[in-house]
Amino acid sequence: MREIEFDTVVKTVRDLIIHCSTDLPEDMYNALKTSVEVEKSPVAKAVLEQILDNANIAKTEERPLCQDTGLAVFFVRVGEEVKIKGGLLRDAINMGTEQGYKDGYLRASTCHPFSRANLKDTIGYNLPAIIHFDLVAGDKIEIEYAAKGGGSENVSRARVFPPAAGKEGIIEYVREVVSDAGGNPCPPIVVGVGIGGTFEKAVISSKHALFRDIGTENPDEELNEMEQTMLEQINNLGIGAMGMGGTKTAMAVHIESNPCHIASLPVSVNIQCHSSRHAHITL
Amino acid sequence: MATYHLTTPLTSEDTRQLNAGDVVYLSGVLYTARDAAHKRLVDLIDKGEELPFDLEGSVIYFVGPTPPKPGDPIGSAGPTTSYRMDSYSPTMLAHGSKGMIGKGKRNQAVIDACKEYDGIYFGATGGAGALLGKRIKSAEVIAYPELGPEAVRRIEVEDFPVTVINDTHGRDLYQMGREQYEVK
């Protein structure tokens, strides 16, 4: 059984969070650069240029890209032949999250759902992290991290359709969710679509779909075609960067599909803003 | 799409010339407030009590910044989604405030109040927190420090870039822009 030190995990998570808060991933940066060239609306073009300027300032001056530094979301795949020495993996991830958000001068945004009291002095600074664990073969731990802001979560939706809704029903639903969201989720967005499974499986799949790099193809031909259809329909909505009108509303649609119950067709749509802060690392 | 440089506090003369889609570089003092602070401010107005700052000609920025790094006045400071302030903004405008900065669509009551009271709803670029934070030259908490990032701050800005979304003529850039680029 391979062992990984508790403190190694803490430090890795801390550094990943700080890095992500100021360094826009290359996939989104490149997609923005391409968009500036093709955007037809001068207002939206100016917004896209500002977003790129912002990314350059954030990186060179190590300032957070956005003041909404999000809730910390993790997908962690733990090999069955590895264990943490000196503590629990969940505790290490939470400790790394707290250190990263504090040391990086990031905003603590977790609060009690009713009193709205900030939890930084009770549960911990921007704690608890949202962690999805999975067990896999091998002796490695793979950590995927995203800082998930509130604006784009607020417009995300899920619904269980009757099977008769079919592919057309799903495509129409995704278009409707993005249309209703307008400029609120800070477009240009990435749209994560989770299909099938149970209700919660669809939702988690839609979140995980956002981790895929923009520009990569869905290996499933049918899903790849659906993604292209959805992307075209979304960009035809005219919402544009920050909702000010334009030809570029989404950078990509990513679908994750699962087998489901004979009676149901769950669909979840999770939206990601242009400040798509995500990264992964393998220990 | 014209470009203006304006200094706060704003007058009706300043705001009436603006059209949805215009770019404005704001300088001077802005006040920051999100939902929690708005609720308290509107409670004070309803009770006829004094506010922590003068509303006349004021521009309110909907923002909850990150903590400043040592030596900086403020951290990253981009706009938050504005609909959460929809129930409070008409009261603020009716009592002299002339502008709001946020992101995302407002309800009809806010659009109507902009028309009635010569107010402007400006959009700043969401997610451009590093760039916008740098245009803030000083920041001071003047009320409700217990709200943390949501406290009311008096901030001084220089050439703070915003776009006119809702003007004093009842127009809405979000609707106009979308209609222009929608492919049916």
Reading the block at residue A54, the tokens are 């912002």
Whether the predicted pLDDT of A236 surpasses 90: yes
Whether B169 is catalytic is no
pLDDT digits 0-9 by tens, B91-128 = 999 999 999 999 999 999 999 999 999 999 999 999 99
Whether the predicted pLDDT of A217 surpasses 90: yes
User: What percentage of chain A exceeds 70 in pLDDT?
Assistant: 100
Q: Do B181 and A238 touch (CB under 8 A)?
A: yes
Contact A72, A95 (CB under 8 A): no
Looking at residue A213, its pLDDT comes to: 96
Q: What is the ipTM of this complex?
A: 0.93
Cis peptide before B68 (omega within 30 of 0): no
Whether the predicted pLDDT of B148 surpasses 90: no
The whole-number average pLDDT for the span A121-131 is 96
Lowest mean per-residue pLDDT among A151-155, B20-24, B70-74, B145-149: B145-149
The whole-number average pLDDT for the span B67-86 is 95
What's the mean per-residue pLDDT of chain B? Answer: 96
Whether the predicted pLDDT of A193 surpasses 90: yes
The whole-number average pLDDT for the span A126-145 is 98
pLDDT tier, B149 (very low <50, low <70, confident <90, very high otherwise): confident
Task: Give exposure, A245-257, as e/b (b: 16+ Cβ within 10 Å).
Answer: bbbbbbbbbbbbb
| Number of neighbouring beta carbons within 10 Å of residue B29 | 18
Contacts of B146 (CB under 8 A, 6+ apart): none
Contacts 24+ apart (CB under 8 A), B80-85: B80/A67, B80/A68, B80/A151, B80/B34, B81/A150, B81/A151, B81/A154, B81/A184, B81/B126, B82/B106, B82/B121, B83/A184, B83/B107, B84/B34, B84/B35, B85/B33, B85/B34, B85/B35, B85/B38
First to last CA, chain B: 25
| Number of neighbouring beta carbons within 10 Å of residue A200 | 12
Reading the block at residue A70, the tokens are 């999000």
Question: Which residue of chain B has the CA closest to A275?
Answer: B127
- Nearest CA to CA, how far is A263 from chain B (Å)? 34
B141 phi and psi angles, rounded to 5 deg: -75, 125
The whole-number average pLDDT for the span B81-95 is 97
Q: Do B127 and A275 touch (CB under 8 A)?
A: yes
The whole-number average pLDDT for the span A125-150 is 97
Reading the block at residue A101, the tokens are 């958000």
**Structural domains of chain B, count:** 1
- Nearest CA to CA, how far is A180 from chain B (Å)? 11
Reading the block at residue B65, the tokens are 């910044």
pLDDT tier, B146 (very low <50, low <70, confident <90, very high otherwise): confident
Question: Which residue of chain B has the CA closest to A103?
Answer: B69
B122 phi and psi angles, rounded to 5 deg: -95, 145
Measured between CB atoms, does A128 come within 8 Å of chain B?
no
Whether the predicted pLDDT of A115 surpasses 90: no
Contact A209, A255 (CB under 8 A): yes
The whole-number average pLDDT for the span A15-24 is 97
Looking at residue B147, its pLDDT comes to: 83
Contact residues on chain B for A43, CB-CB shorter than 8 A? 1, 21, 163, 173, 177
Q: Which residues, numbered 149 to 168 in chain A, qualify as contacts with chain B under a Cβ-Cβ cut-off of 8 Å?
A: 150-151, 154
Measured between CB atoms, does B102 come within 8 Å of chain A?
no
Distance (Å, rounded) from C-alpha B62 to C-alpha A151? 13
Contact A58, B130 (CB under 8 A): yes
Q: Dihedral angle at the C-alpha atoms of A243, A248, A249, A255, nearest 10 degrees?
A: -170
- Nearest CA to CA, how far is B33 from chain A (Å)? 14
Mutation for testing the B interface, residue in A67, A101, A119, A247 having most B CBs under 10 Å: A67
Whether the predicted pLDDT of A186 surpasses 90: yes
Element (H, E) at A166: helix A166-181
pLDDT digits 0-9 by tens, B166-180 = 999 999 999 999 999
The whole-number average pLDDT for the span A3-7 is 98
Residue B173 sits in a domain whose CATH number is 3.20.130.10
Whether the predicted pLDDT of B80 surpasses 90: yes
Reading the block at residue A44, the tokens are 């939206």
Tokens 């957070």 found at: A64
Looking at residue B150, its pLDDT comes to: 86
Q: Do A245 and B161 touch (CB under 8 A)?
A: no
User: What percentage of chain B exceeds 90 in pLDDT?
Assistant: 94
Q: Among A41, A46, A57, select the one facing B177 at the smallest CB separation.
A: A41
The whole-number average pLDDT for the span A265-279 is 97
Looking at residue A147, its pLDDT comes to: 97
Whether the predicted pLDDT of B26 surpasses 90: yes
Of these residues, B5, B38, B95, B169, which one is catalytic?
Answer: B38
| Number of neighbouring beta carbons within 10 Å of residue A1 | 8
Contacts of B60 (CB under 8 A, 6+ apart): B30, B31, B32, B33, B92, B97, B99, B100, B101
pLDDT digits 0-9 by tens, B33-58 = 998 899 999 999 999 999 999 999 99
Mutation for testing the A interface, residue in B22, B23, B38, B81 having most A CBs under 10 Å: B81
Looking at residue B11, its pLDDT comes to: 98
pLDDT tier, A68 (very low <50, low <70, confident <90, very high otherwise): very high
Contacts of B88 (CB under 8 A, 6+ apart): B35, B38, B39, B41, B42
Range of the domain at B155: 3-181
Distance (Å, rounded) from C-alpha A194 to C-alpha A29? 25
pLDDT tier, A117 (very low <50, low <70, confident <90, very high otherwise): confident
- Nearest CA to CA, how far is A24 from chain B (Å)? 11
